Amino acid sequence: MQGPWEDRDGVLRYRTRSGVELYRLPTRLFPELDGYVYLILTDSHRVLVDAGSGLPESWEDLQRGLEIVRARYGRPVDLPDLTAILITHGHIDHFGGLTFVRQRSPAPVFVHELDRRVLVNYPERLITVARELRHFLSQAGASPERQAALLDLYLSMKTMFQSTSVEGLLAEGELLFGIFRVHHTPGHCPGQVCLQIDEVLLTSDHILAHTTPHQAPERITRYTGLGHYLESLRRVAAIPDIALAFGGHEDPILNLYERIAAIETFHHQRLERVLEICQEPRTIMEISRTLFGRQYGYGVLLALLEAGAHVEYLYDRGYLQVANLDQLEKEPEAPIRYRRL
């Protein structure tokens, strides 16, 4: 993709209005997921934004990216020289690499306070979310066998990360180091932040160029959910004069405001579609199947959560009602059937 940046060996460099240098380093995060770590350089700061996934391949890619910054761009920077590490949100593909990076770098780690717990107490986070997830899956209509299989898959990530300390917080509205304006944009993740550097916005997973970022119901994790997400889109749409946005995955975004409008339209169409499906009483499992077709492995969980987020949004606002109240009164754990009001 062409744009107002340089590309040397796959590492993009962009210089912002005030002369801040931004480097985008590509990494393979998981076998089927690519993304980026960003390096921000000024005269006095060398800041890493996100750290990769923590899989060996991601770590090798990060080191290769830094090597390209040194060899092809002539900037003598390495992990021990970093002045700070900022984590854009508490998802493993963005912070898992801290396990490696912190062995080489004494730099303080910053994250939004709503995602701090994930980094400092990772096993607790997984186990408590798994409890909420079990309840959600049961009410969504997943069979006990399917619930067990999906929870096993979810908890298998437990060994991927060793909890770490957090030295600083990314607070809404602050101008960190005189470089990064912090915008708190909860929805995709409770502590999701977008970081503004002059006319550039690092949108992380809040806004991506091609896919609409994954949603999950707020009943599983507070400050997520489609309601928060759409509000956070409006918040970013109100930031003036963003000329270029870089996401945690996918291409740079040359017209952020158009991209936000497209994502909003997408969700409103999906909400309409859920209402259509619920002309007849439906469980979240059935809605997910109609929306996304047959899914496999982790895809089943992602589809159920995405469907659940849209159902929750409509139910909370009184567009859906529970169709099997009598049954729920007798069997509180029975799957809920939703009908359009």
CA 205 vs CA 35, 74, 81, 139: distances in Å: 10, 30, 27, 28
Minimum CB separation of residue 33 from Zn ion in Å reads 7
With beta carbons less than 8 A apart as the criterion, state whether 254 and 207 touch: no
With beta carbons less than 8 A apart as the criterion, state whether 319 and 268 touch: no
How many C-alpha atoms does 314 have within 13 Å on its Cβ side? 27
Minimum CB separation of residue 91 from Zn ion in Å reads 4
Between 23 and 36, whose beta carbon lies closer to Zn ion? 36
Three-state DSSP state, 196: strand
Nearest to 23 by CA among 44, 49, 2: 49
Minimum CB separation of residue 189 from Zn ion in Å reads 6
Task: List the end-to-end C-alpha distance of the chain, in Å, as a whole number.
Answer: 46
Binding site for Zn ion (CB under 5 A): 91, 93, 205, 248
Minimum CB separation of residue 35 from Zn ion in Å reads 6
Nearest to 126 by CA among 30, 220, 232: 220
* Owner of token pair 């740079």: 252
Nearest to 317 by CA among 282, 287, 274: 274
Q: Residue 293 and residue 113: Cα distance in Å, rounded?
A: 37
Minimum CB separation of residue 29 from Zn ion in Å reads 7
Q: Give 144's contacts (C-beta < 8 A, 6+ positions apart).
A: none
Minimum CB separation of residue 93 from Zn ion in Å reads 4
Between 79 and 216, whose beta carbon lies closer to Zn ion? 216
Between 248 and 252, whose beta carbon lies closer to Zn ion? 248
Between 20 and 193, whose beta carbon lies closer to Zn ion? 193
Minimum CB separation of residue 231 from Zn ion in Å reads 18
Between 191 and 248, whose beta carbon lies closer to Zn ion? 248
Between 51 and 66, whose beta carbon lies closer to Zn ion? 51
* Owner of token pair 């006095």: 44
With beta carbons less than 8 A apart as the criterion, state whether 8 and 30 touch: no
Between 231 and 276, whose beta carbon lies closer to Zn ion? 231
